[in-house]
A = this chain, B = another copy of it.
Amino acid sequence: MVEVKSFATTRRFDAAKMQKLALFESERFFCDIYCLLPGQEQKPHAHEGSDKVYAVLEGKVEVRVAGETATLSQGEAALAPAGKEHAVANRSGAPAALLVFLAPPPSHG
């Protein structure tokens, strides 16, 4: 069986905080859906050895990478290179959903 997932309908929004839903996961990468209600964010952080791509599936988000900010709308993607502090926030009035790739998975420890 081919492993198939829907990135169009995989959503869960929670007023408590941004939701992160795993779409695919391997030892080589994470592929998640991030769901952000208005006002929610993922705080600034960095992955020393992992690159991240944020791809906006719906809504509008503010992506910050290494102190620079870009507003991304549906259909736009941004790169957060390894070692650079990055964050994403929904400062719009509508829900936002992102397809997020992280490779390789960050090491824990």
Q: Which A positions have Cβ atoms within 8 angstroms of B?
A: 1-9, 23-24, 26, 28-29, 31, 49-51, 53, 55, 63-65, 68-70, 72, 74-79, 81-82, 99, 101, 103-104
Q: Lowest 5 A-B CB distances belong to which pairs?
A: A8-B75, A103-B103, A2-B70, A29-B103, A3-B79
A51 CA to B101 CA, complexed, in Å: 12
In the bound assembly, the distance between CA atoms of A64 and B3 in angstroms comes to 10
Of B5, B64, B65, B81, the contact of A77 (CB 8 Å cutoff) = B5
CB-CB under 8 A from A64, the residues of chain B are 2
A3 to B69, CA, bound (A): 10
For A9, the chain B residues whose CB sits under 8 A away are 75
Nearest-Cβ distance from residue A93 to partner chain B, whole angstroms: 22
